[in-house]
Structure 1
Amino acid sequence: MTFVGLALLFFLSCSKSGTDEPANPCEGLTIVVNGTVTNTAGPGSTTGSIAATAKGGSGFTFSLNNGPFQASGTFSNLAAGTHTIRAKNSDGCIGSGSFTVSDGDPCAGKTISVTVDVSSSEKCGKTGTITVTASGSTGFTYRLNASGTYQASNNFTGLEPGNYTVYAKDAAGCETTKAATVGAVANGPLFTAVVTLINSKCSGCHTGTNPTSGISLGTDCAIVEKKNSIKSQAVDLETMPKGGPALSAADKKVITDWITAGGKTSD
């Protein structure tokens, strides 16, 4: 009888231990991970962020891209791309969510303004300047016309009269433009007297489609270009005007005074 009693006690002990295993706290539990995404400031930037929260328990910690768990659900300094955040509750139950950080528009919310300060050019030279002032951002570089190259200086020199477009670009690549016109300096009195003299003495030979010796003096810039030849022929050699009397001393002085002053349209 004693042996049978011991055997029964052993059997009952084994059966009891098989029914007392603890329940799995994660069984049937769904942990949902939500997140608010902030995109980067622009391509190449690492200013994105994700602020994550979780449901399905308490005492959550969070992990970014299989990294270490931390108490905060906010992850900053993120580049564009897809990121996985895992949330673990106090019982060790884990859920995850995927979030995409995109490259934002670096120019959104910016208002870049450009003003220009223009100085005129000699009509037949390249003496004009454009100075650009940009505001509304930082790190500006500048270029002149679409074919130009960006430069650090905001000053463009050696410009002939004409229409230009200036560009200003900030450090983030945000660009704006401004039209600018370089005017021509008005004709000066000495040059005006030369033009009047040539029109009265030389227009018959040096204008039109077949001018004498192929030299046309029909435009202001043509007169400036040929100023040394005009002096040589009309003043020094007295071979101009062709077929007519030599210039008077007063006429010669008109030419020499202008050339002495610089021989520009503005003189």
Structure 2
Amino acid sequence: MQSLSEIRTALREETLTLPVLAERYLQQIEATRHLNCYVEVYEQEVRVRAAELQEKFQRDPATVGKLFGMVVSVKDVLSQRDHRLSAGSRMLEGFEAVFTATALERLLAEDALIIGRTNCDEFAMGSTNETSWFGPVRNAADPERIPGGSSGGAAVSVQAGTCLAAIGSDTGGSVRQPAAFCGLIGLKPTYGRISRHGLIAYASSFDQIGIISKNIPDAAVLLEVMSGADPHDATCSVLPAPAADPLPAIAGRLRFAVFRAALEHPGLDPHIR
């Protein structure tokens, strides 16, 4: 299933349960270990939470959150209380977060499932995902190629079908570039739209928590949930969070800008040109 809408329909029609969905993702993680996109999988935690959320849904479907059915991975730069956090570096080996990032609190409050933390360039300082202490991440389309970075593990986790969407971070392209390398949607929201509380900083005046997904509606609902003012982040916008309304159909002809300096660059792969 390629979207939250499809998953929620299957859950409502009882052709799927959340524990079964979680198990499918866990099996896919095991089948794609060679890609090295995860540094830790929350296997038992996911099973327990999936069962609890399924019971909540069966008691009263109206009580579940907007993200019931959404299974996400989280880049190894975001704090989650009592979970290890290393930013892809040996320097933080064994460190456990003492609080949860605001963005993750909001995901969990809307009944998302966090399946694990993903590999990244050390301290998010890279664009190939080859500098992690945990080793390089491989592109699922071709393991001999890079996935981009620094959120390469996040991008590959979605590309390889181990989760529905991923939460990463973007300072100068760290969500957008790997999303492009892996054929996915990558969104760096406007600075201050999502609280940075709980995000390991790279360049605080540029950092932003971002989203990698298979489609725009899923990215939109994740943005809606994570957005909003936060007393722990003075740079966070106080403007209302945008609603993830259905996108209108595009009518008529479209116009595209062509960046010739990139498309005609001598270093561009001929296949891409």
Richer in strand (by share) = 1
- TM-score, normalised to structure 1, is 0.19
Indicate the structure (1 or 2) with the bigger Cα radius of gyration. 1
Select the structure with the greater relative contact order (CA < 8 A; seq sep ≥ 6).
2
TM-score relative to the length of structure 2: 0.19
Which has the larger share of helix? 2
